[in-house]
């Protein structure tokens, strides 16, 4: 890929927008990955390069959430390595999973999440966390592994899945859930990136250019989420969910 002025501009603009959205509710890959593919990168190089940029962005938003105290330290210490291992396993077996089957399952899950969140007006509005139980950890640990695993070899919607689990299972509001979700998403991004680098599936220059723009987008998006709270994050979560579903349905029907 030749990095002329136009290419750099596309990478920067798409990266900024993707990270701004992704830092709050996930779904930034809906923007950044198609941008890389549209610039001519082969699919696996696009996936690896996108992971480089996404790791930079998720690291930035994670640090911002942590610095503002909008996360659960104890829970993250338990679930961070779970997400890390899950993503590493997912990235290692990416070639063995039928993409069409995975897309169908993701569409169904996103549809259920969207409907549930839409119908429950107070969902994620207030924190209802009452401590850790065998039930929450019994479900939280395997779900974190599965979402990390999913991010390792596919990815779109990972952040949204983490946020939903944090709200539904643990009872956090959307802002704390976004903080926890970004930290877990950083773990899965980092693990997958490691695999892609060792497999030679990363183009560093375009990835770093997009990642630099993502640093700014992630920092601004995170602070916007914390400042405006649920009234901003919840509708954005719904918008990203329905956009993800629409895009994946279109691809399943017209590009399979």
The tens digit of pLDDT for each residue in 214-240 reads 999 899 888 887 887 666 667 777 777
Give the C-alpha separation, 65 to 223, whole Å: 8
CB 188 within 8 A of CB 26: no
* Helix 99-119 vs helix 158-168: crossing angle, to nearest 10: 40
CA distances from 255 to 36, 47, 150, 249, 251 (A): 18, 18, 21, 10, 5
Number of other residues whose CB lies within 10 A of the CB of residue 88? 19
Nearest by Cα to 175 from 143, 210, 222 = 222
Q: What is the mean pLDDT of the chain?
A: 83
Distance of CA 95 to the CA centre of its chain: 21
Look up the domain containing 170 and give its range.
Answer: 5-254
* Entry pTM: 0.82
- pLDDT at site 222: 87
State residue 225's pLDDT score: 78
Residue 1 CB burial class (10 angstroms; 0-12, 13-18, ≥19): middle
**Tally of domains in the chain:** 1
Regions of the chain with pLDDT less than 70: 1-2, 94-103, 105-107, 109-110, 113-114, 116-118, 120-126, 229-233, 248, 255-256
Let me know how long the chain is.
256
Q: Position of tokens 């401590």?
A: 131
């Amino acid at each position: 890929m030749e990095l002329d002025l136009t290419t750099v501009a596309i990478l920067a603009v798409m990266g900024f927008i993707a990270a701004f959205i992704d830092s709050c509710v996930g779904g930034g890959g809906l923007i950044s990955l198609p941008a890389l593919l549209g610039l001519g990168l082969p699919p696996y190089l696009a996936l690896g390069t996108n992971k480089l940029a996404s790791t930079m962005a998720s690291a930035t938003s994670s640090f911002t959430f942590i610095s503002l105290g909008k996360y659960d330290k104890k829970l993250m210490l338990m679930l961070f390595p779970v997400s890390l291992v899950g993503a590493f396993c997912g990235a290692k077996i990416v070639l063995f999973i039928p993409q069409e089957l995975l897309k169908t399952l993701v569409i169904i899950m996103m549809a259920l999440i969207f409907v549930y969140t839409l119908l429950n007006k107070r969902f994620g509005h207030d924190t209802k966390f009452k401590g850790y139980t065998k039930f929450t950890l019994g479900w939280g640990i395997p779900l974190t592994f599965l979402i990390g695993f999913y991010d390792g070899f596919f990815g779109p919607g990972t952040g949204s899945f983490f946020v939903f689990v944090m709200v539904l299972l643990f009872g956090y509001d959307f802002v704390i859930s976004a903080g926890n979700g970004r930290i877990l998403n950083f773990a899965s991004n980092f693990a997958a990136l490691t695999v892609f680098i060792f497999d030679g599936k990363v183009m560093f220059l375009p990835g770093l250019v997009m990642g630099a723009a993502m640093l700014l987008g992630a920092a601004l998006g995170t602070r916007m989420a914390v400042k405006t709270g649920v009234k901003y994050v919840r509708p954005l979560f719904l918008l990203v969910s329905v956009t993800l579903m629409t895009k994946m349905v279109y691809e399943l029907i017209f590009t399979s």
